[in-house]
Amino acid sequence: MPNDMNYIDYLRLNNILDAQYPESDKQNKPAHDEMLFIIIHQTYELWFKQLLYEVESVNKIMQKPSLNDNSPELQTVVHRLSRCSTILKVLVHQIDIMETMTPMDFLDFRDMLRPASGFQSWQFKKLEAWLGLKYEHRHGQEYYISQLKQEQVDIIRKAETDQSLLELVNKWLERMPFFDEEDNWKNFQPAATVQEGLHIFWDEYRQRYLQSLASEEKNNYDLFDEVFVKDNTDGSQKNIAQGQQPRLLSSAACRAALFIMLYRGYPVLQLPFQLLTQLLEIDEQLGTWRYRHMNMVHRTIGKRIGTGGSTGRDYLRATLDKHYIFKEIAQLTSFLIERKRLPSLSREMERRLGFAV
């Protein structure tokens, strides 16, 4: 039986190409650039759908309790996260197209859109939640879902209760076995006396790190212990008391992530390092998108409020500063030292990481 699949039917092109209805045409006040405005935003929503599809699949893999760090599954995670960052780069470049519309072009139809706004993109809010942006860390909590329909609010609330990618990465890092296997360290040679209660490697690394600091960086003494030594799984009460956001990565997870960054050249650590790198790339591209969006809004409407009632550029500026999701991973680079200062691993640990035979 011949296959009657057709390009137009397969892609539902009749539905897609018949989905643009400019308000300016309805009101018999034609505005040429409204068609571009509609298509750009429809394309954004299609890409958001794809991003949700990819992140959902990644989170399902990361939920497995025994994910092998050198497995095809972890390769799949890295590959799909890389795809997400590439899609986000496309979203950034779409702003180039949007900026071909001048402020006067936009004013031809802007008032016809009220109170519709990109602020009502429930898919983007769900994506942020699945990646790991907590409600308590959001800017504009009082109205970030106020303009959504109830079924959309329910979707976002559900996404906020799901395990986020950041939470799953924290658990994955905590499972790293390198410091729980005593045989890996029985021939490790520290340069100084080991501090009681601290793993032999981290005591040695801590001392080398502190020796590497310039006199202006002495505040990092306490910060190192805050991040890597103290148990911060209680929500970092000190941070909360000081009006700061609680830490989301545990000390054990931070130690594992830093170890991956330090010794990423070893075969077993290459995929984990790529995973951490892709998380940082996603955050960077989201930040770039927010920055470009903010500047475009400022260029187009100046200090006017958004069509949805937000403060426009000021709101976007606040989200740019506050909505970095994987910033605790990015901040770990503050604790790197030069390669020549790195502690030499034991023969057993090198074999565990895949170099020695």
Residue-range domain boundaries for the chain = 33-60+67-106+119-353
Predicted confidence at residue 114, as pLDDT, reads 83
Angstrom distance (rounded) from CA 203 to CA 205: 6
Q: Is the pTM of this model over 0.75?
A: yes
Task: Mention the CATH class of domain 33-60+67-106+119-353.
Answer: mainly alpha
Predicted confidence at residue 244, as pLDDT, reads 58
Answer whether 306's CB lies under 8 Å from 119's CB.
Answer: yes
Predicted confidence at residue 194, as pLDDT, reads 61
**What b/e readout covers 266-295, taking b as 16+ CB neighbours within 10 angstroms?**
bebbbbbbbbbbbbbbbbbbbbbbbebbbe
Predicted confidence at residue 357, as pLDDT, reads 47
DSSP assignment of 28-80: T---TTHHHHHHHHHHHHHHHHHHHHHHHHHHHHHT-TT--TTSHHHHHHHHH
Alpha helices (runs of H) in 109-164, residue ranges in sequence order: 122-131, 150-161
DSSP tag of 302: T
Backbone angles phi, psi at 168, to 5 degrees: -70, -35
Backbone angles phi, psi at 288, to 5 degrees: -65, -40
pLDDT tens per residue, the chain (357 residues)? Answer: 567 889 999 999 999 999 999 999 999 999 999 999 999 999 999 999 999 999 999 999 999 887 777 779 999 999 999 999 999 999 999 999 999 999 999 999 998 998 888 878 999 999 999 999 988 877 666 677 878 889 999 999 999 999 999 999 999 999 988 888 888 888 888 876 666 678 899 999 999 999 999 888 888 888 999 999 887 655 444 544 444 567 899 999 999 999 999 999 999 999 999 999 999 999 999 999 988 888 888 788 766 555 544 555 676 777 767 778 999 999 999 999 999 999 999 988 998 888 554
Tokens standing for 171? 């658990």
